Chain A
Amino acid sequence: MPVMTMVEAINDALRVEMRRDPRVVLLGEDVGVKGGVFGCSAGLWKEFGGDRVMDTPLSESGIVGAAIGMALYGLVPVAEIQFSDFIYPAFDQIVSEAAKMRYRSGGEYTVPMTIRTPIGGGIRGGHYHSQSPEAYFAHTPGLKVVVPSTPSDAKGLLLASIRDPDPVLFMEPKLVYRTLKEEVPEGEHVVEIGKARVVRSGKDVTLIAWGGMVGMCEKAAAKCAEEGIDCEIIDVRTIVPLDEATILESVKKTGRAVIVYEAPKTGGFGGEISAILAEKAIEWLEAPILRVTGFDTPFPYTLESVYLPEPGRIREAVLKVVRF
């Protein structure tokens, strides 16, 4: 099996699907001739031409709105928003239009569209190249939200997202884009949307994370293991629909949960997971549910490493719930 970074795996998924399905088109800023600012669409403009790999004017709402129209007409668009920090001009198109189209038309019109967008910190990007806005979108009925944490999952989940009959927001953690390399299956490789992944089995505490924070949890778990604490790690993989069953099963086994996400603490999606655990697993809990998160501040530049949850901060939370 070839070894790939996440960027290479995403590029591979796009190529596989564009070769397989002539309805698949890409559009976005700089996705064509340049191949995307991170290189996710490198080589595709050359292979498939400017009709199927479209450089658009600089308008996020325009990219998503036009992609919706293409989907209504029967294409399968994959739109790229260059950084999720710039997705807000398209918020209306995503929330009011794409996500409600099937419901409001009784299924007469559907939007099988994927929006790819990089999220998260780790590249010294300051306020506007670092944020993690998944919670805003998880609050939108009719929209699926997918966040891979590994190259192999990025390929498999992206293929599943493009083939999904409903709009999918596919959020790619920049922290992992080029830092993690692993074997990725060639050709067909689909990972089902809605299934969490048990990254590491353990009996003492469940760490729940997605995107760039999964790797942080693995490092934290390795440290904790040296201290005799056995962490289980769940990679949520899809925020919507959430695989509650896998999370509940793990927490019922360990009795302890620490949820790790890099968005601001208040209103983050980890709060939703915490509420589900409180509703459905409170009898199994041995300790309070803790969250390790970004702060309720804009994403900082110089103090990024303090803002982002890191293994040390995660370990502190693990010690707290284990010693409770």
Chain B
Amino acid sequence: MSGRPKHKSAPETAAPRGGAPPPATIPSTHGGDDLIRLLSPEGVWLGGSGGSPFPPSRLIELFRGMLRIRLLDGRMLNLQRQGRIGFFGQSTGQEAAIVGSAAALKPEDWVAPALREAGVALWRGLPIERLIAQCMGKGSEVSQGRQMPCHHSYRAANFISMSSVIATQLLHGVGVAMAAQMKKDPIVCMAYLGDGATSEPDFHSALNLAGVRKAPVVFFCQNNQWAISVPFAKQTASRSIAVKAVAYGMPGVRVDGNDVLAVLAEAGKAVERARSGGGPTLIEAVTYRRLGHSSSDDPTRYRDADEVKLWEARDPIDRLRKHLLSLGLLNQSKEEAIEEELQAQISEGIRVGEAGKEPPLESLFSDVFAELTPQLREQRDATLAEFAHRELPKGHGH
């Protein structure tokens, strides 16, 4: 398998630095310490002599991107608890996988998102107020409140509209890549998935087809080790997800998903391989879903608090923070300034998003087809006529 680790990390049993808690062995998914890593959990550069090749501005940009997702998660969960949004799916703990993979793409590349990639859309320019308006079901947002919260679409950045269905998007990613290949456009599609999606038939169909056609697609799996309440060990008997790539004739790469620099480096290699005609790659970013599957889920009912604590100690933002501190690129006041600015952006996003108008009644019937069919026109006209003289019914949760 060509995804062999290039940068061997220090063994997990190495002596802790700087008084950090002793790192434990990564549980369940871990068939030996074969994770590719550029930063130790203490933020120490492991990439060899010469030090990090990442320019300081890039490192700060990655830090900001990760922190924005973390802060947004907190604010959105608060809004959900206040009843101002109906539902939210968090990304806490997965920020390095999200930002590292997104940062490997060019603006003209495409994204076929799974469930936890709103941060990818943000990285690619999705305005926060639009994200929030979507979560609030507003008519000011393009999808007119037709989908549940967290189901984003962002055409301006080639971020494909998301469904709740698992693994279907992988084939869209392959199709986009095949189309680009046919038109000789130097475009790569990043197709995201979770660990659960590897059990779906479309995972097999997509990787098989991409392998046969040498399509310029990168399959990026955020292995957060839990598909709602089902742990990785009950999802597959494979020792990893990356190993599955062998069967499709493509490289499989297993990277520490909490190390943003390793994720960026490995995703970058895969993207450039795809762009230069080298075909697809399967990347497994090993990370952890620290909160529930969504705001509707209580993970304390099915998993051990010690496991969560273990992963809290491997926090991806903290890891980059320590690295930046050691390079002298960050200090407490600089970080506070960044956080203040991001919180202000989010506050403004909430203000503008929440002030958006409700979707008009007509939006129920438009966009089913390019033009209304006679049946849709009849149903729309009857509905408009009915609600011209009585109030709209109050639904559940209103």
Contacts and interface: CB of A to CB of B under 8 A. Distances in A.
B295 interface: no
Interface string B355-398: 00000000000011110011100000000000000000000000
Contact of B369 (A75, A144, A243): A144
A62 B172 contact: no
A108 to B, nearest CB: 4
Interface string A17-31: 000000001000000
A69 B176 contact: yes
A100 B163 contact: yes
Contact of B368 (A102, A242, A243, A244): A102
Nearest to A110: B370
B168 A96 contact: yes
A229 interface: no
Interface in A99-115: 100-110
A166 B110 CA distance: 22
Contacts of B350: none
A73 B143 contact: no
B142 A61 contact: no
A108 B369 contact: no
Interface string A230-260: 0000000000111111000000000000000
Contacts of A70: 175-176, 178-179
A69 B370 contact: no
B163 A104 contact: yes
Contacts of B175: 65-73, 77
A283 B129 CA distance: 55
Interface stretch (B20-28, B198-206, B231-239, B283-291): B198-206
A203 to B, nearest CB: 26
Contacts, number: 150
A65 B112 contact: no
Contacts of B144: 106
B161 interface: yes
A59 B153 CA distance: 27
B171 A65 contact: yes
A101 B161 contact: yes
Nearest to A96: B165
Given A74-B179, A105-B142, A194-B373, A66 B161 contact: no
Interface string B135-178: 00000011110110001011100001101010010111111111
Interface string A165-192: 1100000000000000000000000000
Interface residues of B, number: 46
B209 A106 contact: no
A81 to B, nearest CB: 14
A62 B171 contact: yes
A322 B102 CA distance: 69
Nearest to B156: A108
A104 B175 CA distance: 19
Interface in A269-294: none
B343 interface: no
A84 to B, nearest CB: 19
A66 B174 contact: yes
Interface string A34-77: 00000000000000000110001101011011111111111101
Contacts of A69: 112, 171-179, 189
Interface string B176-220: 111110110000010000000000011011101100100000000
Given A68-B171, A242-B375, A109 B369 contact: no
A52 to B, nearest CB: 7
Contacts of B375: 241-242, 244
Contact of A106 (B153, B202, B206): B153
Interface residues of A, number: 49
Contacts of A194: 373-374
A65 B205 contact: yes
B208 A57 contact: yes
A5 interface: no
A97 B370 contact: no
Which of A70, A110, A144, A240 has the largest number of chain B CB atoms within 10 A? A70
Interface in A183-229: 194
Interface string A130-163: 0000000000011010000000000000000000
A165 B370 contact: yes
A97 B208 contact: no
Contacts of B208: 57, 59, 62
Contacts of B204: 59
B196 to A, nearest CB: 15
B370 A102 contact: yes
Nearest to B154: A108
Nearest to A51: B182
A312 interface: no
A77 B171 CA distance: 14
A104 B369 CA distance: 11
A241 B212 CA distance: 38
Which of A110, A141, A243 has the largest number of chain B CB atoms within 10 A? A141
Contacts of B178: 66, 69-70
A92 interface: yes
Contact of B209 (A52, A57, A68): A57
14 contacts: A51-B182, A62-B202, A65-B168, A68-B171, A69-B178, A70-B179, A73-B175, A92-B168, A93-B171, A102-B368, A104-B163, A106-B142, A107-B142, A165-B369
Given A75-B183, A106-B153, 16 more contacts: A57-B209, A59-B205, A61-B205, A62-B202, A65-B202, A70-B178, A73-B180, A74-B179, A75-B182, A96-B165, A104-B151, A106-B146, A106-B367, A108-B142, A109-B155, A165-B369
Q: Which 7 pairs of residues, A with B, have the shortest CB-CB distance?
A: A69-B175, A65-B171, A105-B161, A62-B205, A241-B373, A106-B142, A73-B179
Interface of B: 110, 112, 141-144, 146-147, 151, 153-155, 160-161, 163, 165, 168, 170-180, 182-183, 189, 201-202, 204-206, 208-209, 212, 367-370, 373-375
